[in-house]
């Protein structure tokens, strides 16, 4: 709605009444500007709290986690945190769940291979996916099983389920064999990427850039629908020994 329509700048019989109700134009703009600044500041505070929470989780684990340290790192007061989160557990759970905020959606127009590569490459390299954080949490699996279990439930399982969804779509479209074990195949694809990140310190700067694409290509080559030629049944595109050797080399850095 235009300000003239509101009578703020006059132009109507009841303009004066509307002017009084809305106040001076400058005052209106001040309110709008202050609201914008406050909202922007609130978003910055939210981001600072979440990033600080994840950092404290990685450094201290669950047992050593404290809201006080989060507040200190985020440069906010504890009251600011408790206005957003009911307690310590909600803060931890919410922070971990943000690691999947940008998890790529499944593009149903793309091939199964493309969908899987995009998804797993995001897991391997994206800063928002926790590519640098998760290896540090996994390293504490034995000494801090509570943190590992929480991370598995809040972060890993949703990713596993998304990969399984992509595999089921591939089966429906005939790109994968009907008898493919979706759960096992998802593990075959996700687990190497997670381990690769641990070996290469997060995967963002180290490791082969084509690791994910080669992993998916190798896996799908053995999962393609069965072809029958003159009574002989075999998997289409069975990988050669040379391809297998290449996959082994993919586990090492350049």
CATH topology of domain 15-98: Tetracycline Repressor; domain 2 (1.10.357)
Per residue, the 3-state secondary structure of 58-123, as one string, reads: HHHCCCCCCHHHHHHHHCCCHHHHHCCCCCHHHHHHHHHHHHHCCCCCCCCCCCHHHHHHHHHHHH
Task: For domain 102-250, give its CATH number from 1.10.1740.10, 1.10.357.10, 3.20.19.10, 2.130.10.10.
Answer: 1.10.357.10
Record the pTM: 0.63
Do the domains 15-98 and 102-250 sit in the same CATH topology, yes or no?
A: yes
Q: Report the range out of 72-76, 92-96, 97-101, 223-227 with the highest average pLDDT.
A: 72-76
Tokens of 43: 């978003």
Per-residue pLDDT tens digits for 31-80: 554 544 445 567 889 999 998 998 898 888 878 899 999 999 999 999 99
Average the pLDDT over 104-132 and give the result: 84
Q: How many CB atoms lie within 10 A of CB 121?
A: 20
User: What are the residue boundaries of the structural domains of the chain, listed by start?
Assistant: 15-98, 102-250
Per-residue pLDDT tens digits for 121-131: 888 877 666 77
Identify which of 102, 103, 251 has the alpha carbon closest to the alpha carbon of residue 166.
103
Query: Which residues of the chain form beta strands (DSSP E)?
Result: 226-229, 232-235
Contact 91, 46 (CB under 8 A): no
Residue 15 pLDDT > 80: no
Query: What size, in residues, is the chain?
Result: 254
């Amino acid at each position: 709605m235009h300000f003239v329509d509101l009578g703020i700048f006059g132009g109507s019989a009841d303009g004066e009444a509307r002017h009084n109700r809305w106040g001076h134009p400058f005052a209106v703009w001040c309110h709008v500007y202050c609201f914008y600044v406050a909202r922007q500041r609130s978003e910055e505070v939210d981001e600072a709290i979440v990033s600080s929470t994840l950092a404290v989780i990685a450094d201290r684990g669950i047992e050593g986690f404290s809201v006080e340290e989060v507040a200190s790192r985020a440069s906010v007061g504890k009251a600011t945190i408790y206005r957003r989160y009911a307690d310590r557990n909600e803060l931890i759970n919410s922070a971990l769940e943000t690691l999947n905020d940008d998890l790529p959606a499944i593009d149903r127009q793309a091939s199964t291979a493309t969908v899987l590569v995009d998804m797993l490459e995001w897991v391997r390299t994206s800063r928002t996916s926790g590519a640098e954080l998760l290896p540090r949490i996994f390293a504490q699996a034995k000494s801090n099983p509570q943190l590992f279990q929480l991370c598995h439930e809040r972060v890993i399982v949703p990713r596993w389920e998304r990969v399984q969804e992509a595999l089921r779509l591939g089966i429906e479209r005939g790109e994968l064999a009907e008898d493919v074990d979706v759960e096992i195949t998802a593990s075959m694809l996700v687990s190497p990427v997670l381990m690769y990140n641990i070996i290469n310190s997060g995967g963002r700067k180290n490791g082969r850039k084509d690791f994910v694409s080669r992993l998916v290509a190798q896996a799908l080559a053995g999962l393609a629908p069965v072809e029958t030629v003159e009574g002989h049944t075999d998997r289409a595109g069975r990988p050669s020994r040379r391809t297998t050797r290449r996959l082994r080399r993919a586990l090492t850095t350049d």
